[in-house]
């Protein structure tokens, strides 16, 4: 089954404790990206990656890092989480169609709470 898998789905942590949210897709997609969703603010892109070792900032990259060492994986790293990073996070992937990003496939989301 084609899917994007995120882990963990739920996490409560404390300020400053480094954490990683993993994202994996089994569709051989070139494009992967991370979003955060907050009430009243919709979906905001954090980082995206066009392919292995190619990453770039989205609209809200501050406080986050990413890496793309393998095509299927795109982890989101919070080096020193702060309470304003409490949010619902989504990973998504798509084929690169040559005319822009194609249909995005989203994961189920990871709800992160930073105390």
- Asked whether the CA dihedral 49, 51, 52, 53 is positive or negative, the reply is negative
Range list of H helices, 1-115: none
Residue (60 or 78) nearer to other proteins, CB: 60
Unique residue bearing structure tokens 């890092």: 65
Least distance CB 16 / other proteins (angstroms): 27
Of 4 and 80, nearer to other proteins (C-beta) is 4
Please report how close the Cβ of residue 80 comes to other proteins at its closest, in angstroms: 25
Residues that bind other proteins (CB under 8 A): 4, 31, 33, 35, 41-45, 48, 50, 56, 58-59, 88, 90, 92, 99-109, 111
């Amino acid at each position: 089954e084609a899917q994007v898998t995120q882990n963990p789905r739920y996490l409560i942590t404390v300020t400053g404790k480094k954490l990683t949210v993993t994202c994996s897709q089994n569709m051989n997609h070139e494009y992967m990206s991370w979003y955060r969703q907050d009430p009243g603010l919709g979906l905001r892109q954090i980082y995206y990656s066009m392919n292995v070792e190619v990453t770039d900032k989205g609209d809200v990259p501050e406080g986050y890092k990413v890496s793309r060492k393998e095509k299927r994986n795109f982890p989101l790293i919070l080096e020193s989480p702060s309470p304003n990073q409490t949010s619902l996070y989504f990973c998504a992937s798509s084929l690169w169609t040559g005319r822009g990003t194609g249909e995005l496939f989203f994961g189920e989301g990871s709800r992160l709470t930073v105390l």
